[in-house]
Amino acid sequence: MTKKNQPILIIGVIIIIAVIIYLFTQTDRKVADGSGDSSAPIVIPTHNWSSQVVMAYVIGGIFEKNGNNVKYVPADSQAVYESIRIGDVTISHEVWESAFGKSFTTALDKGGILDWGDHEARTLEDMGYPNWVAELCPGLPDWNALKSPECAKNFVTPDSGGKGRMLEGPQTWHGDLIPQRIEALGLGDLWTVKFAGSADALWAELEAAKKEGRGTIIFNWTPNFTDGAGFTFIDFPPYTAGCRPVDGGDGKCGSPDGYLKKAVNADFPKTHPSAAAIFKKMSFSTSQIGAMAALVDIDKMTHEDAAKKWLADNGY
Amino acid sequence: MELLKKYPKLFQWLFLLIVFFALCFSIDVPETYKFIRGQAEFIKDPNQSTYTLFGTEVRYYAFDVLWRLPPLLGWLPIWVNDTLFFLLNEWMPMEFWNEATREYKTRPLVLQITRNITAFMTFLIEFIREILLGGVETVVAFTSWDFVSTYRWAKLPGLPWTIVAAGAAILSYKLSGKGLAIFAGLVMIYISVFGQWKPSMQTLSFILVAAPLSFAFGLSLGIWAYKSKRVEKALYPILLTMQTMPQYAVLVPAMVLFGIGDHAAVIITMVVAIPPMILLTLLGLRAVPPEVIEAGKMSGCNNFQLMTKVLVPTARRDILIGVNQVIMVCFSMAVIAAFIGAKGLGWNLLLALNQLNIGLALEAGLCISLIAILLDKMSLAWANKQEDYFGNLTFFQRYKNSLFFAGALLIGIILSYAGSFYFKEGYNYFFEVPHNKGISTADFWNKGVDWIFDTFFVYIKAFNTWLIVEVLQPMRALYLRMPAVATLVLVVGAGYIIGGIRSALVVGGLALFIALSPWWDRALVTTYMATFGVIISCTIGLTVGTLCQQNKYTTKFMLAVCDIFQTFPSFVYLIPVMMLFGVTDTSVLIAVIVYATIPATRYTIEGLRSVPAGLHDAASMSGVTKFQRLINIEFPIAFPHMMLGVNQTIVFALFMVIIGAFIGTEDLGQYILKALSDKAGGGKGLILGICVAFIALIFDNLIRTWVQKRKKHLGID
């Protein structure tokens, strides 16, 4: 391209852009109502599980209805608390006690992040099994059923060294908690714990076990999309404060009935008072969260569409 | 004695192996030795030994020094991490005025600087993204959020997909010709029709920022290294380490420094893409003949003119191949970058995998591959394009391409304007086909995987059990059974025999670093998986490459297959493999083999191709058969080049073993994955990454030294 035709081209491009701007900006959106909020966008993180992503869009929809600007950013579920603290992300709407409680409280101690109340939903994250497995191991869901060698035999895999294998989530989630518990409960001779690398690996194992009709014990949580498909958690001895080895206990206990919290950046209430107040009041129940996940995981909708449908169904 | 003189190397190797095995058998496994759990730095145990250095307490299980060295470098990751934390959170706090809350806020200097860099990056990304897709952020950057909230028209409108497709086709036509233009058009139409337009443009927008920036930095650093020997010496080891470090390990420090989002993705993509650019710039500049430089000097160039008018244009080809490399690396990062917040195809792919929707992930992955190949071909065409100087052209001939593009613009706008009346249900298909409203073949692929599962499951399971019990478990046990001293002797000895004292010192130092880190056992497991993967990959690659090379068309076909697989995100086949083979080492290794066979095949083909045709003829005249020619002439001549392929195979295999952590492994990768969400992960991620890089560099050094000697011996090069 020679230098001569550049001015012509530039003028042409400018005219064309002007035309495009004119053509595509006919549909104006509603102007923000004077709620006193800053018009800077509220940054909502999305993680890699369905209910969280749908809820992000649901909450975003509610904020937008309130006249706020909203931005979504994909984020790691552990690292997000540091990002909220620094201000890269504004809110987090799913703080699971068992998995993220530690990251959250650490960030809380450092300052810059606020505890913004609990959801109605309670959470449980523990080892469990899809319902058909109960036949393989009479006595389940009581953990004592795991003491029987006949039971453990059904869960042997080629690399488990003759022991029954439990598939724990990534080591990231709770370190050596489950292996320590298995040892502490005296199940170490019959059972071994394998760490999966990701949530995907857990679902793949669940799907493969279902197709093959074999037994499997995996780490899972509720509320989750598996709630609808029939999944039972093993009843380990009840959790008491300080019973975990990290806290100095003997490790002979299951997981706590945990909170599902919301967290915000410390500046959020100052910059967006009205949105912050709405978010404080927001509380979702287990069934609502399960329904959000099911729209995506069972009905195969996209996350945005699922959020739109949920908002429409619930009168927003 | 005769034999010893004839094959001195052979006896040196024999001697080394005897020493190695003698050490292995004479040092017993300590009774207290337990793999992995015994090392966990998270539990406190009275049996552990401790020491404190640089204010860091290191806990470990002490063994006989010959069996496992104590982790004398155990403080390093923690120290790196504390330094990072100190820099980011405490060093030089300053007061900054916060407009939003109308109050002063104390922020450490480094944090403020990194946030300013990220703000700039974000602006660039959003600008390109909004040209392609539309949005308000660019306008916001010049005004404020209040402005755009009040004036809703103040936003970039975005280009209809028809215009971008036409633009890509016209540009390809200008660069190369009809073939590429048709390919470009088809790729764009495919992306649009399959409803991947928006994520594709999001991915493209961050690559269009990362690639030019990497190019600029790479070029200037390359020039600097060319000018100054000292810079080159300082850069070289860093470049080597960066090239062999799993991309995944770069994520953690990048996230600590720059937070999450598209900007951080751009930064880590740059970190990975700059090294090859520097190396190729350096290579190109070095190859400039001295006559050319003389000519430039005689014409009275000053230093700057010499660089920009003489050296860089002469080295144009190598530099443009560097551009091509940069583009490839950028796309290979598309999925990995999604872990720290890059929007687009990578993120969609991860979400689809989380729902076990393999078909959907496959479609997203294919889009990444197609765009990568398109840009690759376009940049290659650019590299090979000759400037033409025709004087007397008519107006139409001269401005043909611009006119066509203007026409496409007009038609595109009219179409999308008309579309807004025609499509009443809210989606204007002539503007953008929405994400979930395109054609989808996802069901077909998902059913395919189901079918494979149902049909072959029995055989797969039997094979899997056999492989794990008979091959993998024993092999892993053997690797872990090696005393640290024996391994070190083996590495140093190999270095000495191949490259003399210098090589021995280098590889010995690299191995010692790993041995003194807290992760020696895990490094052994990583090495075991990589070794298995490399052996199988090389066998397959060598066979397939040799067979395909016999015919022109199969060669072309195979190279195209290699192109697709190299850019196709490996995460996609992790899931089906995991469903078929379970959460086991087999799954990881299959993924490794699929990925690592690519360079093995490619280099075999290229190596055999590089055998001069004259030699073929000479051999045929001497009356050898085709098979004899292959064995006695082509293989020995092509062997050095093929060994470089083995080198690449090792690097690829290690990358994939690390990514295998997503399936579930107990090696360095698991800890790298863990570091990503660990609060003290920055330092650990980095040191773990360096450990992996060092494993690769040990092999790299040995193979390269050997190849150089061999080439000299054969009289090529």
Residue B108's DSSP bridge partners are B93
Nearest-neighbour CA in chain A from B242: distance (Å)? 24
Q: What is the pLDDT of residue B100?
A: 60
Q: Which residue has the higher pLDDT, B634 or B395?
A: B634
**A172, A199, A303 ranked by CB distance to B674: nearest:** A172
Q: Is the ipTM of this complex over 0.90?
A: no
Please say if the pLDDT value at position B602 is more than 60: yes
pLDDT-derived band of residue B424, with 50, 70 and 90 as boundaries?
low
* Chain A residue numbers touching B583 (CB-CB < 8 A): 167, 194, 196-197, 201, 204-205
Cα dist from A15 to A18, B156, B398, B477, B541, whole Å: 5, 14, 22, 71, 55
Please say if the pLDDT value at position B454 is more than 90: no
**A74, A77, A179 ranked by CB distance to B341: nearest:** A74
Each residue of B159-209: pLDDT tens digit?
Answer: 788 888 888 888 888 888 888 899 999 998 888 888 888 889 889 888 889
A74/B343 touch (CB, cutoff 8 Å), yes or no: yes
Burial B556-585 (b: 16+ CB within 10 A, else e): eebeeebbebbbbbbbbbbbbbbbbbbbbb
Please say if the pLDDT value at position A10 is more than 70: yes
Each residue of B56-94: pLDDT tens digit?
Answer: 777 777 778 888 888 888 888 888 888 887 887 777 777
**Closest chain B residue to the Cα of A89, Cα to Cα:** B260
CA gap B28, B663 in Å, rounded:
33
A296/B152 touch (CB, cutoff 8 Å), yes or no: no
Least confident of A238-242, A278-282, B223-227: A238-242
Q: What is the pLDDT of residue B18?
A: 93
* Chain A residue numbers touching B580 (CB-CB < 8 A): 208
B354/A50 touch (CB, cutoff 8 Å), yes or no: yes
Delineate the domains of chain A, giving CATH numbers in brackets.
42-121+259-313 (3.40.190.10), 124-247 (3.40.190.100)
CA gap B19, B487 in Å, rounded:
11
B469/A158 touch (CB, cutoff 8 Å), yes or no: yes
For residue B386, what is the DSSP state?
Answer: P
* Chain A residue numbers touching B347 (CB-CB < 8 A): 74
Pair A127, A168: CB distance under 8 Å: yes
Q: Is B1 helix (H, G, I), strand (E, B) or coil?
A: coil
**Closest chain B residue to the Cα of A112, Cα to Cα:** B105
Q: Is B523 helix (H, G, I), strand (E, B) or coil?
A: helix
Q: Is A235 helix (H, G, I), strand (E, B) or coil?
A: strand
**Closest chain B residue to the Cα of A198, Cα to Cα:** B662
Please say if the pLDDT value at position B420 is more than 90: no
Contacts of B497-503 with CB under 8 Å at 24 or more apart are B497/B9, B497/B12, B497/B13, B497/B16, B498/B702, B498/B705, B498/B706, B498/B709, B499/B701, B499/B702, B499/B705, B499/B706, B499/B709, B503/B701, B503/B702, B503/B705
Domain B204-359, CATH? 1.10.3720.10
Q: What is the pLDDT of residue A26?
A: 38
A39/B665 touch (CB, cutoff 8 Å), yes or no: no
Cα dist from B300 to B251, B305, B310, B311, whole Å: 48, 9, 12, 14
The string of DSSP letters for B296-329 reads: HHHTT--HHHIIIIIIHHHTHHHHHHHHHHHHHH
B402/A80 touch (CB, cutoff 8 Å), yes or no: no
* Chain A residue numbers touching B578 (CB-CB < 8 A): 200-201, 204-205, 208
Please say if the pLDDT value at position B38 is more than 50: no
Domain boundaries, chain B: 204-359, 459-466+527-714
pLDDT-derived band of residue A219, with 50, 70 and 90 as boundaries?
very high
B664/A195 touch (CB, cutoff 8 Å), yes or no: yes
Cα dist from B647 to B352, B511, B548, B703, whole Å: 34, 17, 21, 7
pLDDT-derived band of residue B43, with 50, 70 and 90 as boundaries?
low
Each residue of B278-334: pLDDT tens digit?
Answer: 988 988 888 888 898 889 888 888 888 888 888 888 888 788 888 888 888 888 888
pLDDT-derived band of residue A93, with 50, 70 and 90 as boundaries?
very high
CA gap B508, B495 in Å, rounded:
8
Q: What is the pLDDT of residue B648?
A: 87
* Chain A residue numbers touching B661 (CB-CB < 8 A): 197
What average pLDDT does the structure give for chain B? 83
Q: What is the pLDDT of residue B390?
A: 65
Q: What is the pLDDT of residue B702?
A: 92
Q: What is the pLDDT of residue A21?
A: 59
Q: Which of A29, A77, A171 to mutate to test the interface with B (most CBs of B within 10 A)?
A: A171
* Chain A residue numbers touching B354 (CB-CB < 8 A): 48-50, 199-200, 203
Please say if the pLDDT value at position A33 is more than 60: no
Q: What is the pLDDT of residue A18?
A: 67
Please say if the pLDDT value at position B36 is more than 60: no
**A50, A201, A208 ranked by CB distance to B662: nearest:** A201
Nearest-neighbour CA in chain A from B86: distance (Å)? 13
Pair B59, B81: CB distance under 8 Å: no
Nearest-neighbour CA in chain B from A218: distance (Å)? 12
Please say if the pLDDT value at position B717 is more than 60: no
Nearest-neighbour CA in chain A from B176: distance (Å)? 15
Share of chain B above pLDDT 90, in %: 16
**How many residues does this entry show for chain B?**
717
Q: Which of A9, A39, A198 to mutate to test the interface with B (most CBs of B within 10 A)?
A: A198
- pLDDT, mean of residues B144-161: 73
**Closest chain A residue to the Cα of B43, Cα to Cα:** A246
A200/B454 touch (CB, cutoff 8 Å), yes or no: no
Nearest-neighbour CA in chain A from B12: distance (Å)? 38
Three-class HEC string of B441-486: CHHHHHHHHHHHHHHHHHHHHHHHHHHHHHHHHHHHHHHHHCCHHH
* Chain A residue numbers touching B676 (CB-CB < 8 A): 76, 78-79, 172
Q: Which residue has the higher pLDDT, A9 or A208?
A: A208
Cα dist from B566 to B42, B279, B280, B299, B647, whole Å: 38, 21, 20, 45, 16
Nearest-neighbour CA in chain A from B278: distance (Å)? 29
Least confident of A23-27, A89-93, B125-129, B597-601: A23-27
Please say if the pLDDT value at position A1 is more than 50: no
* Chain A residue numbers touching B522 (CB-CB < 8 A): none
Pair B673, A208: CB distance under 8 Å: no
Pair B315, B383: CB distance under 8 Å: no
* Chain A residue numbers touching B339 (CB-CB < 8 A): 76
Report the range out of A205-214, B219-228, B300-309 with the highest average pLDDT.
B219-228
**Closest chain B residue to the Cα of A46, Cα to Cα:** B341
Fold match, B204-359 / B459-466+527-714: yes
Domain B459-466+527-714, CATH? 1.10.3720.10
**Closest chain B residue to the Cα of A87, Cα to Cα:** B259
A77/B585 touch (CB, cutoff 8 Å), yes or no: no
A172/B673 touch (CB, cutoff 8 Å), yes or no: yes
Q: Is A224 helix (H, G, I), strand (E, B) or coil?
A: coil
* CB neighbourhood size of B104 (10 A): 11
A31/B152 touch (CB, cutoff 8 Å), yes or no: yes
pLDDT-derived band of residue A35, with 50, 70 and 90 as boundaries?
low
